[in-house]
Chains A and B, each alone.
Chain A
């Protein structure tokens, strides 16, 4: 029993991990889990996402520990966690199934709302500032694809190339951005979108 041993340092635990000692890595994880989870939770949308980031972080740390000498453990770990968060956000943008469902986007845009008529939209849009305000309310990724495709009139292939995604991914993003734009216009209809 290692009762006389002092607590191993992070560096020692990592060094043992590199030699294949998974229990050492387990101790390392236990030591840093709370802080990293707090960080991931603050920057993720929910607990599931945070847990996913955490797992990704420790997996990359396990691999990375073999590849390089780690000098300052905590900054190193938080850098890995930050990259894991970024990867997760990118996956989200590119993978429609992980994003908000089309049904809920459609509902927000007024699908199945008998009061959301083309006539009301057309009348409201005669006020030029309304469309501007709706565009401004979109997040950057949505506004970007709309500006490139609708206003700058790039082709589908050109837009996809600028965004660095496949044509299919671009189409999916564009469709969702259009639905969100309709939802933003609907929210600005003179009597509030719903009667």
Chain B
């Protein structure tokens, strides 16, 4: 997004930097709102947010279906 005033008052790089905190629920209401406002109108961040949470979701599925995933032998 190359607009002068980026949506939500945030640049894509700032959204990218806070993506984990956003998904982990670690941000304030105001910070969340700014990201949500940005993502609503930014196709790049919408798509990448989807990719990021898809991979994390799959990872968490791994820990449910296979307790040994990524675990060293005990």
Chain A residues in the interface with B (C-beta under 8 A): 102-103, 106, 109-112, 114, 116-118, 121-122, 125, 131-132, 135, 143, 146-147, 150-153, 156, 171, 174-175, 178-179, 181-182, 185-186
User: Number of B residues contacting the other chain (C-beta, 8 Å)?
Assistant: 27
Please name 9 further chain A to chain B contacts, defined as beta carbons within 8 Å, in addition to the given A146-B59, A151-B62, sorted by A numbering.
A109-B48, A111-B48, A112-B44, A121-B55, A122-B54, A122-B58, A151-B71, A171-B20, A182-B52
Q: B21 contacts A117, CB within 8 Å?
A: no
Which parts of B6-46 form the interface with A (CB within 8 Å)? 12-13, 16-17, 19-21, 24, 26, 44
Chain B residues in the interface with A (C-beta under 8 A): 12-13, 16-17, 19-21, 24, 26, 44, 47-48, 50-56, 58-60, 62-63, 69-71
Alpha-carbon separation in the docked complex, A153 to B13 (Å): 28
Q: B residues within 8 A CB of A175? A: 17, 19-21
From A117, A152, A171, A175, name the one whose CB has the most chain B CB atoms within 10 angstroms. Answer: A175
